[in-house]
Amino acid sequence: MDFVDIDTSADMRLFLDPYFLANRFDPWSIQACETIRNYFQKLIDLIRAKDPDTKNLLLNMGEPNETCLGFSKGQPQGRGVGRIQAGEIFDSLDKSKAVATGIVEDLEDCRIFVEGIDKDKISDMTTAIIRKQLIEYTQHQARLNGISLSSGVSSGAFWDRNLGRWNAEHTEMLVIDGKRRLLVPKGIVSFVREYTPQRYYDDYVLNYLQNDLRSLNPVLIRRRKSGEIWVAKKDLKEVYPYSKHFLMDFTERHPQIFQNFKQYSRQMSRYIQNDELSSCDIPFLVRSLMQQLQQMPAGDKNATNYHRLITGIMELIFYPQLQCPKVEREINDGRKRIDITFDNNSAEGFFCDLRGIHNIYSPYILVECKNYSREIANPELDQMIGRFGDTRSRFGLIVCRKIDNMELFLNRCKDTLKDGHGLIIPLVDNDFIKILNGIAASANGLTADSNIVNQILREYCRNVKLG
């Protein structure tokens, strides 16, 4: 699954991380990040203008408990921004020199410099701000997985960046035991271990002070037998104890150190892997998927089952490069449908090369699933060409059971590319079996080629003369 599989009876210790979100490339994350930045810029502008409406921007955050993520014990509580806490956070922001001087540029920077705000509060605030996007994501995932939704449910407050204010509506929502629930893409959650004030203090501020001997009190300086002089971190901690106020004062004097920390954190951030989110036996899962694929009959009668199976397999093998799958996405005012659409979040590999090297517009990866017993021919290629557009994508995958005359099919794909329509390549059952076997071997500790997916896709591209 593309989302975090939550336990609705207890919170999972994961957090929505706007810093992590800002480093993603896919359209869903970019839109969510723009919403967060729009909200935060208005909040900062009102604080600096001493506008009395500032607190209202915090009050409307409510108490998000829909995601079942955070620190709560037992039943999810959702310790969002209540009236008292809104006043406390407003006071912290209002008094913060980091806000006044512009050191705090983004919502996640508050975690570093503003008292009373840490990863749990940032996560709650993020949930409220992008609640609209999370609702839409939940709706797509529910339809993809056959999960029932309830109609006419109050959404709760979300930030409307077009109107520049909080908004709410009645819509379809996932309701479990009478409570609203939001599904969260597993690609936007983290343990928040890198971008923290303590790491900034320990690894950057103190390291800088250790090397800045000229500005330190001579009492702190020690001398080794070799004559080398040095400063112990434990001594620095006594003279410069950790506090967010100290971090703010230090950063005002040395802004480049904070920028170095942000750059390092961005490089070190990583996606949570499937085995960190679940105790699922991956080799068993892979064998099950292969068995289902091999045993599924071709033909229209099993088209839906094949469609869903392929979506699950692609989610497993392409995460985190491809995320946020949607089924039967309507285009052209509903006159056409795309079987599956993935958001392209790749920072390396084949899907990154599409846009970075081959200059093929591909924010979305379009997928047509054909559970045919007959050969794929021109009508299927023409159907995919009809899905292409400058506002969607110029790349598509035709997923089918087999292609007897692969050379002829790839020549047709070559003609499509030559004519300027876009790039189409196939993936057949044998490709998926080869990839899944590689995953199973790797999960068992055996040698497996980690680039097997890229190899298969790039080989198809070479055959249509893309390079």
Give the number of other CB atoms < 10 A from CB of residue 274: 16
Model pLDDT, residue 331: 45
CA–CA separation, 197 and 194 (whole Å): 9
Q: Which residues of the chain have pLDDT under 50?
A: 73-74, 76, 78, 330-332, 334-336, 445-449
CA count, 13 A, side-chain hemisphere, 425: 20
Main-chain dihedrals φ then ψ at residue 14, nearest 5 degrees: -130, 160
Residues recorded for the chain: 467
| Cα dist from 129 to 120, 138, 142, 160, 163, whole Å | 14, 16, 21, 8, 13
Gap between the Cα atoms of 191 and 276, Å rounded? 11
SS3 sequence of 226-288: CCCEEECHHHHHHHCCCCHHHHHHHHHHCHHHHHHHHHHHHHHCCCCCHHHHCCCCHHHHHHH
Rounded to 5°, the CA angle 40-105-268 comes to 110
Residue type, 210: Q
Encode 14-28: b = buried (16+ Cβ within 10 Å), e = exposed: bbbbbbbbbebbbeb
Asked if 37 and 105 count as a contact pair (C-beta separation under 8 A), the reply is: no
> What is the predicted pLDDT for the residue at 290?
93
Nearest to 138 by CA among 182, 170, 177: 182
Q: Where are the domains of the chain?
A: 15-190, 197-268, 280-463
Sheet with 150-154, strands from edge to edge, namely: 150-154, 170-176, 179-181
What pTM did the predictor assign? 0.82
Any idea what DSSP says for residue 298?
Answer: P
Distance CA(272)–CA(350), nearest Å, equals 21
280-463 CATH: 3.40.91
pLDDT digits (tens, 9 = 90+) for 341-387: 999 988 888 899 888 788 899 999 999 999 987 888 888 888 889 88
Q: Are strands 423-428 and 395-400 parallel, antiparallel or unpaired?
A: parallel
